[in-house]
Amino acid sequence: MNEFIKSFKYAIEGIIVAIKEERNLKIHICIMILVIICGFIFKISTMEWIICIILFGLVISLELVNTAIENAVDLVTLEKNPKAKIAKDVAAGAVLISAIVSAIIGFMIFIPKLN
């Protein structure tokens, strides 16, 4: 197997491990599935689908990066360290901001369709 194919294999393994181990990632995926179902029910436009897909990718990607940062920090130090806490908290904050913005945009897309 050449290196290019191996890199995809490793990336997929990383995603699978994160899904298995990270509760918040499971929550984001469940919400993504619900949004997809609602998208079909409410027949959202192509542009609205594009926006939703970009937001799915953003939130899931940031959750994966957050997981990587948390694990890297834990690997480096087992002691309580203010800088380790900052790294973990800032990464988690990035996920939170992307999730909040995504929810707001989701409401802007779906609430008008409830009429």
Residue whose pair of structure tokens reads 């959750």 in the numeric block: 63
* Cα(85)–Cα(82) distance, integer angstroms: 5
Annotated catalytic residue, options 13, 21, 63, 70: 63
In single-letter form, the type of residue at position 96 comes to L
In single-letter form, the type of residue at position 1 comes to M
* Cα(56)–Cα(1) distance, integer angstroms: 31
63 noted as active-site residue = yes
Q: Are 72 and 37 in contact (CB under 8 A)?
A: no
Mind telling me the catalytic residues? 63
